[in-house]
Structure 1
Amino acid sequence: MKIVQTANFVAPASGGIRTTLRHLAAGYAAAGHEVVQIVPGEQDGVEELGGTRVLRVRAPRLPGTGYRVISQPWRVAALLDAEQPDRLEVHDRATLAPLGRWARRRRVPSLVVSHERLDRLLGTWTPVRLRGMLPVTAAADRANTALAASFDTVVTTTAWAAAEFVRLGTPNLCHIPLGVELGGFHPDRRDRTLRRAFARDREALLVVASRLSPEKRVDLAVDAVAELVRRRVPVRLVIAGDGAARGRLERRAAGLPVTFLGFVADRERLAGLLASADVALAPGPVETFGLSALEALASGTPVVVHHASALAELVVPGVGLIAAGSGFTFADAAAELLAASPAQVAARRGATRARAEGFTWAATVAGFLACHGGEPAATAAPPEPPAGIPAPPLAA
């Protein structure tokens, strides 16, 4: 079976979607399928990456971000005509949404992955003075209805992300959680030397691994550090990530014990940082899955997450805390976690790792292959969906 994946928001310094594409492609290839990816690039081109043929489409840069977005979906359609895929997998609900109609016309089974929750994003982007006045939910409902009608299957990775489709009674909805690199992110990567590069032994080390864009609300983590400093709690915050909001965040953090690392391309260094931290903060209110928080749990590090995001589903007793959206409440949660005894910290590291071990890429690949009508991976079954969301149909 030939599977063509296409996506926007894929760049060398990007995170979730790029990681998802890489693991899915590797899983499909291991199951004996041919994989082609169509993604934006500075110039048109073709290259081989890990056994996957990658077609790059010249695309403009989205202002204020490090991303390029394909603005001419008909160019992707032309490539699809040439590739003649057996299955189409779209990881974008914006400019690439018209590819669902291409698949319908060609009778190619298709699925689209909703990597964001549109109603929450629209609410975030609405100016404060207009919130509650604009028909944000109605606009999202119209867009989601059209999206679901264009594709054979809509895939969401959390119940939180699925809620806006469940509200519409979408019949072709599937729930498939993403996975985490359990081998790469592990408590054994804790490195005292690396930790001392950022914090003294008497100081708590907090970490944020995130793209620095406004919707990620990394300012809440900075505000939490300001509050902890006011309480005379000895802490250091390390922010791993880059983006358009970095300058504003650096100004906000002036005078505080905050270090900006920029984008960390070395995954081993990132894994060591996460394992060496005392607490990871995930302050984004519109996180649809949150791979970085799951990577922290796999590393044995507890997380503090925003109550309004999908990450609240991830946090169970013993692995972290859920906080309301303010620096004060994030400071409260971090302080509570830091107050644990050595025995409690050791038990929590085991609990966080055990929680992450429930999210494997093998299960994710199996779920996607089931949606594609291919043979699920033999190593794992498709995950159980939350109530009200149908599981992907198993291939005959």
Structure 2
Amino acid sequence: MRIVRVANYVAPRSGGLKTALRNLGAGYQAAGYESVLVIPGEKASDSATEQGRVITLPGAYLPGLGGYRVLLDRRRLAATLRSLRPDRLEISDRTTLRWLGRWAQRHDVPSMMVSHESLDGLLRLFGPASGRRVADLLNGRTAADHDKIVCTTRWAAREFERIGKPVDLVPLGVDLERFTPARHDPAMRARWAAPDDVLLLHCGRLSPEKKPRRSLAALEGLRHLGVRAVLVVAGAGPLRNALQEEAATRGLPVRFLGHLSDPLEVAALQASADVAIAPGPIETFGLSALETLASGTPVVVSSESALPEVIGTAGLAADDAGYVSAIVDILSRPMEARRRAARAQAEKFPWSASVTGFLAAHGVSGVDRVRPAEALGRDTGRTQLGGNLG
């Protein structure tokens, strides 16, 4: 059986969507299914990889967004899909690729839309006052155009459930061998922080919807309390220059590392920090936060996002003004206990369970019998987490 996956907004170097696509594709291949991924690129290409066949079609470049490209040539994409003759179609873009659901209906191909973003959240940040009505209208059309909707957290599923549309709940996963507390590196830590310093980590894209200024504000608040803290920022994005200027003006010890191309360096950094901050308010899962937990480092997340489901009791959720107190709370816990708790939470999310869940949503069997949604905890409110995630 051939599962053809189509995605837009795949970062050229890294990113949560790229990680998810790679691991799911590799899982499909390992389970005995043929995986084909179609994504935008600078030019056309076709290559065999561990995650299956990867086809790039020329995509329009989006300036100022870190290299993202988008498949806008519907005729060429449709011709590519006809030549591939998919048995299943998996789509990872609810905006510019929603039309593929109707294409699949016309060609009798079962289709599945994966909701990697929240229209509720995006419209809350950037949209009109009538954002909820707009989201309900668009989500209703999305559900009507596809055979299945997959959401990775209960938080992400709510906007569909609100309008009576069923979803399959399947959490994403984490590479538990790459991201491990064993990668704690005293030499790396000493590069950025003195022995008595608290090492904070912000790992993610520096763009407006991710709210990276919250991490700077948390550092400033801690230092006002007398906590010797430094912040390392791993990631690039359109706000980097502005953030660097703001940190310098306010005299904050922030180290901007930019994009780190070596995944093992990222893993070592995540394992060597004391606390990580994931302040994005519209994250539907938060792979970077989960990778940090797997590395043994607790995370403070936005209570507005899906991340409280993911981190469970291994971290804390905070509102806009609560990051400082949440970090202080975590630092008051015994180091070994908080690191064990972080790792234990991440172990609930192996990629094998995600692959099983996605294949089940496609109507086929997977590589094991794990029930992936069981990793997700119950809803526990907005401020201080309680569940597990998805």
Residues 357-368 of structure 1 aligned to structure 2 (within 5 Å): 357-368=347-358
Q: After alignment, is 57-66 or 375-384 more displaced? A: 375-384
CA distance in 2, matches of 1:268, 1:14: 13
Amino acid at match of 1:315: I
Q: Could you tell me which of 355, 358, 380 is aligned with 2:345?
A: 355
Task: State the shift of 1:232 in Å.
Answer: 2.0
Cα offset, 1:379, TM superposition = 5.7
CA contact (8 A) 1:363 1:381 kept: yes
Residues 24, 51 of structure 2: 8 Å contact kept? no
Which residue does 1:331 correspond to in 2?
Answer: 324
Please give the per-residue CA displacement for 1:320-355, whole angstroms capped at 9, x wherever unaligned. 1111113xx212211222233xxx211111111111
User: Among 262, 265, 268, which residue is 1:266 paired with?
Assistant: 262
Q: Give the aligned partner of residue 226 of structure 1.
A: 220
Q: How does 1:22-37 map to 2 (within 5 A)?
A: 22-37=22-37
Corresponding residue for 1:144? 139
| One-letter identity of the residue aligned with 1:258 | V
Other-structure match for 2:109: 108
Residue 215 of structure 1, aligned match among 203, 209, 214: 209
TM-score, normalised with respect to structure 1: 0.92
CA distance in 2, matches of 1:333, 1:382: 29
CA distance in 2, matches of 1:11, 1:314: 23
CA contact (8 A) 1:73 1:96 kept: no
Cα RMSD for the two superposed structures? 1.5
SS in 2 for 1:275: helix
Partner of 1:257: 253
Q: SS in structure 1 opposite 2:70?
A: coil
1:153 to 148, 151, 165: 148
Q: How far apart, CA to CA, are the structure 1 residues paired with 2:104 and 2:378? A: 30
Matched to 1:47, the amino acid is S
**Superposed counterparts of 1:84-233, under 5 Å:** 84-126=85-127, 134-171=129-166, 173-233=167-227
Q: How many residue pairs were aligned?
A: 375
Amino acid paired to 1:106? H
Paired amino acid for 2:204: S
* Whole-angstrom distance in 2 between the partners of 1:50 and 1:120: 34
With over 3 angstroms needed to count, the CA separation of the structure-2 counterparts of 1:51 and 1:303, relative to structure 1, is closer
The one-letter amino acid paired with 1:274 is Q
Among 240, 243, 262, which residue is 2:237 paired with? 243
Match of 2:74 in 1: 73
Structure 2, unaligned runs of 5 or more: 380-390
Task: Write the distance in 1 (CA, Å) between the matches of 2:372 and 2:291.
Answer: 21
Which stretches in structure 1 are left out of the alignment for 5+ residues? 389-396
Q: What is the DSSP-based 3-state SS (H/G/I as helix, E as strand, rest coil) of the residue aligned with 2:311? A: coil
Structure 1 residues 177-215: Cα deviation after superposition (integer angstroms, max 9, x where no partner):
000111110111111011001101010100011011100
User: Which shifted more, 45-54 or 295-304?
Assistant: 45-54
Q: Is the 8 A contact 1:90 1:113 kept in 2?
A: yes
**C-alpha contact (below 8 Å) 1:362/1:379 kept by paired residues:** no
Please give the TM-score of this superposition, normalised by the length of structure 2: 0.93
Q: Per the alignment, do residues 356 and 154 of structure 1 end up closer, same or farther by CA in structure 2, a change over 3 Å counting? A: same
CA contact (8 A) 1:73 1:99 kept: no
Tell whether the 8 Å contact from 2:186 to 2:272 is kept in structure 1 after alignment: yes
Cα-to-partner distance string for 1:9-44 (whole Å, 9 max, x where unaligned): 112323111011101110000011111110000112
Q: Is the 8 A contact 1:31 1:377 kept in 2?
A: yes
C-alpha distance in 1 between matches for 2:58 and 2:247:
37
**Distance in structure 1 (CA, Å) of the matches to 2:183 and 2:122:** 35
Letter in 1 for 2:352: A
Q: Secondary structure at the match of 1:359?
A: coil
Structure 2 residue identity aligned to 1:243: G
Q: Conserved in 2, the CA contact under 8 Å of 1:285 and 1:325?
A: no
Cα separation, 1, equivalents of 2:284 and 2:74: 25
SS at match of 1:316: helix
Percent sequence identity over aligned pairs: 48
What is the distance in 2 between the residues matched to 1:195 and 1:137?
Answer: 44
CA pair 241-117 structure 1, distance change in 2 beyond 3 A: same
Deviation at 1:386, TM superposition (A): 7.1
Q: Tell me if the contact between 2:290 and 2:311 (Cα under 8 Å) persists in the aligned partners.
A: no
Residue 4 of structure 1: SS of its match in structure 2?
strand
Asked if structure 2 preserves the Cα contact closer than 8 Å seen for 1:284 and 1:306, the reply is yes
CA contact (8 A) 2:62 2:70 kept: yes
The SS at the match of 1:315 is helix
